[in-house]
Amino acid sequence: MKHHLPPLDSLKAFEAAARMLSFTKAADELCVSKGAVSYQVKKLEQHLQQTLFKRTTRQILLTDAGQLLYQATQAWFAQLQQEFNQLSHNRNLTIAVTTYTAVRWLSPLLANYSSAFPDQQIVLQHTVNHPGFDTAGVDLTIRWQHAEEASDQFIHAPLYPVVSPQLLAKLPNSHLGQGYLSSPNWQHITLLGEAREEDIWQAWNQGPCLNPRRIIEDANVRVQAAIDGQGIILADQLMQAELENGSLVSLSDHQLTGVGYGIHYHTPQAKELSRWLIP
């Protein structure tokens, strides 16, 4: 439907000038020149064929027509702002995160957010570690990384080896020290991990380790493999439940530090959501 409304720029300039009774202050707020505000107001007056301001050398005042239009524009802008806020709030929020992080950390926190905003739809996208991962359409990304890599927020999650009680009974001893994986007594022990350019086990050992590896890309499956006694796994704070129930036990006090979870915001909505996810 064709409309005959004045340009939005003219209405914005008028509303700001009427609210502050100053072209100069309105220009500062709108980040334009005083002349630009005056020009937009004149365009509006021509469109309405009404004088909206009484201009003197020191101040401007609203005419009766100007007062009526000011009240109307305030109501319009307030309603528009409310509608935009509602549309923005109702838009799906997409979080790119692994299933491991989603299940063990994110899900309980999202429950609190959803209770506060029941109309907000959350979409979890689990391709964050895929080679072709793209942030297009993603509001917030949570991924494992080193602390020095860029992120909006970072949660430290040191890594340390854990093992099932069954496998522990078969190991050379109950403690795995730094550098032990290079020794003959430990070289036959299977290390569970994922395919990465960086050898995380070698970084933890701080030296070469030729142990057999079992690559299991899904971290949840990797944890279960460790529980089943298939090998040693590097754990972080998200495996606390397994340590508490005894299905996995810590094998060393030595930790790989400087690693954890990077939080990346891609939209303003993500920053609002982050306040519910990160203490």
What CA–CA distance (Å, rounded) separates 144 from 72? Answer: 52
CATH number of the domain encompassing residue 217? 3.40.190.10
Give the domain-ending residue among 48, 73, 90. Answer: 90
- Residue 5, by phi and psi: left (phi above 0), alpha (psi -120 to 50) or beta? beta
pTM: 0.66
Confirm whether 3 is domain-assigned.
Answer: no
Same domain, 240 and 173: yes
In the prediction, which pLDDT does 111 show?
A: 82
What CA–CA distances, in Å, run from 71 to 18, 66, 109, 191? 10, 9, 43, 71
Residue 169 pLDDT class (50, 70, 90 cuts): very high
Same domain, 268 and 243: no
Q: Which of 211, 214, 215 is nearest to 181 (CA)?
A: 211
Long-range contact set of residues 84-91: C-beta below 8 Å, sequence gap at least 24 = 88/269, 89/117, 89/119, 89/120, 90/119, 90/120, 90/121, 91/269
Confirm whether 247 is domain-assigned.
Answer: yes
Average the pLDDT over 44-68 and give the result: 90
What CA–CA distance (Å, rounded) separates 80 from 250? Answer: 57
Range of the domain at 198: 159-256
pLDDT single digits (tens) 78-90: 887 766 655 555 5
Same domain, 97 and 84: no
